Structure 1
Amino acid sequence: MTLTLHESHDILGSKKRTSLVAAAASAQPTVYLIRHGEKPDSGDGLSAEGQQRAQCLRSVFGASSAYSIGHIMAQTPKSDGSRQRPYDTVAPLASDLGLTVDITCDRDDSDCVKDVVDGYQGSGNILICWEHDALHDIVKTLGDDDAPDYPDNSFNLIWTDPYPYSQITSTISEDCPGLDD
């Protein structure tokens, strides 16, 4: 079979478009979701254990890790100091990675989180640190109709939600020494 120059160009163009679409799909970030660090018995902020966890995350998700974090999100803190724990949990890591923590989305606005994830154009993956009760809603809004509930008594789980964000594919421990032994 002999192709004309025009037919050959159409086939190559089609293959190139298919390759570009496949590359774009593979370029979608993986979303990692974690709960904020441990909290004190009363009041806002992190407990000593929560501060220890925030320091540990510097190693877990740091530049030499396989997570390749390029964007970090935490819910918007309130001006009275409440809802500050997620930000405080990831701030040391963000500093190490030279990133600014994205706090544009309110705790209960999972649509906002989805918009940020869908609009992300940077390199690397996305780390989301939130209150555990809202993680279910975020995962569901991203596309997982069977989104799990984050356990009330855990602070150490990492959920992995790869593109197209339709299922948590793994749940592993952060393995922070002295906290997750």
Structure 2
Amino acid sequence: MSEVKLAAETRTEFGKGAARRVRRENKVPGVLYEHGMVPIHLTLPGHELLMALRTPNVLISLDIDGKTNELAIPKAVQRDPLKGFLVHVDLLMVKRGERVVVEIPVVAEGELAPGGNLLEHVLTALPVEAEATHIPDSLPVSVAGLAAGAAILAKDINLPDGVKLAVEEDTAVLQVLAAQAEEAPAGEEGEEAAQA
């Protein structure tokens, strides 16, 4: 699991106008939540945060106003729907040794059995409980040789030490769907019947 250090500043101005001013400076408004504590409103560096968020469940070490260091994980990220830039981020403060529930991307590896079958990702990410500083980046799952009708359940996925499922064991994660027979183009069946 990667840890990224970011400098953050506390924010005292709120609302749309203040958020726009922050974004014009290539920064991102955000909120740091801690269990049972008053949220801390922050301004974060835009480009560095964008790069950090490319890693799922990244652990962020925040240097707040040069006074305190806090560990956090992304809780919610809002992006502009057209341009994709960061609009706002919610972070959850964590402590070393604390267990958190996060979603880990499932990565299918290998080739399905011959026959043109399709692999459906019922869940693209698997909810698990893990220690905040030891969250796996992804969960590889072998689908080699699976035929139509086969399914991989949550209990079938090998989890790293210290990681536990946060869903029912019988939850389907991946399944193999049978290839669909190609339909004849419209009109061909009528022509063949007329020629007979």
TM-score higher than 0.5: no
TM-score, structure 2 as length reference: 0.20
Question: In terms of Rg, which structure is larger?
Answer: 2
Structure of higher RCO (CA pairs closer than 8 Å, 6+ residues apart): 1
Considering fraction of residues, name the structure with more helix: 1
Considering fraction of residues, name the structure with more strand: 2
